[in-house]
Amino acid sequence: MPLFGTDGVRGLANGPLTADLALTLAQATAVVLGQGRTADARRAAGRRITAVVARDPRVSGEFLSAAVEAGLASSGVDVYDAGVLPTPAAAFLIADIDADFGVMVSASHNPAPDNGIKIFARGGVKLPDVVEERIEHAMTGQKLQPTGADVGRIRRFADAEDRYVVHLLASLPHRLDGIHVVLDCAHGAASGVSPETFRDAGARVTVIGADPDGLNINDGVGSTHLDRLAEAVLAHGADVGIAHDGDADRCLAVDAQGRVVDGDQIMAILAVSMKERGRLVGDTLVTTVMSNLGLHRAMADHGIRVETTAVGDRYVLEKMNEGGFSLGGEQSGHVIMSEFATTGDGLLTGLHLVAEMARRTTTLAELASVMTVYPQVLENVRDVDRTRVADPVIASAVAEVQAALGDSGRVLLRASGTEPLVRVMVEAADADVAQQSASHLADVVRDRLALS
């Protein structure tokens, strides 16, 4: 089974994801990413190979980041330790100081016992599959073993947070003066930097979920648990709530009435704003097949083209890079604004969302009304042979349901990449129709693909 998943290496900390693995992975990364013409030119000029390392506040990040830094330094890489910062901050800093690569130790929205290692190449960009394969192969090969003055140094990146905050503030098209924001930082990596940045941008800020103790990350708070944020917005009479996940590469929102505004709605708001301001390259939004039909309809109404990819922010990024597009993302709240970031950035997204409220002097509910969210039902059919999802009987059933829905609905079947599971998603203008259609198709999948 491949070591790298859809977003780096992830697993139970000190289970599969040990200090030994982290150290070996870092050494292999130094071998692969410390090569090439740019690295050779640096060495020829007497410059060292450098890397940025950051982590979220979960307790296992302490020993895992130490192991990563030890692996890099023992391979001759100078390490800039940025401490606890969001994943997008690490990506930004790699580019900002022209480091050769970087490592983020985080399991994002997963619970505290898990952790992960994400690797970014020069410029703060995610690695393509072929480079991940080279790193995995290098883990069993010859390591770099410099001695004496050639070993790497580990230095505290003292102004890492300040650099990131200045970058975020410089990106804003409008200040946030007069807007009351509740921030839910998921007891995660954004707990310090997000409140500071929103206040510096002019917002009045109330904070929840910003007391990380190493064990409470994502525990009942953050973008995967929006009830507390909605309650806080209503209790404080705030204008908007912004929720991050553990490493702050996501952003979801809650309006003044406590209603959730998801990633599709956020992308719709930003796409329309960017088009009005001439910042939406090619008048195009890139999103995944899971985005709501209402988003497609709203974008068509505003003359915005939608490019669709497979599920995963890495595929959104690939499509954005291919076309040079400036906005893309996922329903889950991974929103990529390529003018300012190389990856999803929950702080950047939240700031620009609230800035649009300030620019338009209107409510989030009014902005979100740009799209009508179609009822969407997702059923996970377990213990089935996912390799036979193209079964002709299933295909016929899907075609029948799609024909019945017509232009007012959509059907999507997706086989899991790792589990014996098929996901059935149906959207329709009527919630009951969506539920009935999804249940029917789930029954067909279960009957046809059941494991004996």
Task: Tell whether 245 is in a known binding site.
Answer: yes
Residues of the chain with CATH 3.40.120.10: 9-158, 163-368
Mean pLDDT, residues 401-417: 89
Residues of the chain with CATH 3.30.310.50: 376-449
Does the structure show a pLDDT above 80 at 449? yes
Q: What's residue 420's pLDDT?
A: 87
Q: Which residue type occupies 352?
A: H
Q: What's residue 73's pLDDT?
A: 98
Q: What is the fold of 376-449?
A: TATA-Binding Protein (3.30.310)
The burial class, CB within 10 Å (0-12 / 13-18 / 19+), for 353 is buried
Q: What is the fold of 9-158?
A: Alpha-D-Glucose-1,6-Bisphosphate; Chain A, domain 3 (3.40.120)
Task: Tell whether 247 is in a known binding site.
Answer: yes
95-122 confidence digits (pLDDT tens)? 999 999 999 999 999 999 999 999 999 9
205-262 confidence digits (pLDDT tens)? 999 999 999 999 999 999 999 999 999 999 999 999 999 999 999 999 999 999 999 9
Overall pTM surpassing 0.85 (yes/no): yes
Q: What's residue 37's pLDDT?
A: 64
33-46 confidence digits (pLDDT tens)? 997 666 667 666 67
Q: Tokens for 332? A: 């889950």
Task: Tell whether 313 is in a known binding site.
Answer: no
- Select from 28, 33, 107 the least CA-distant residue to 74: 28
Mean pLDDT, residues 44-57: 90
- Select from 411, 420, 404 the least CA-distant residue to 452: 420
Q: How does residue 347 score in pLDDT terms, banded at 50, 70 and 90?
A: very high
Q: How does residue 418 score in pLDDT terms, banded at 50, 70 and 90?
A: low
- 65 given a catalytic annotation: no
Residue with tokens 């090619």, as numbered in its chain: 282
Mean pLDDT, residues 314-321: 93
Task: Tell whether 249 is in a known binding site.
Answer: yes
Catalytic residue among 106, 108, 273, 437: 108
* From the candidate CATH numbers 3.40.720.10, 3.40.120.10, 1.50.40.10, 3.30.1370.30, the one assigned to the domain spanning 163-368: 3.40.120.10
Average pLDDT of the chain, as a whole number: 95
Distances (CA, A) of 42 to 48, 50, 103, 152, 229: 7, 10, 20, 15, 48
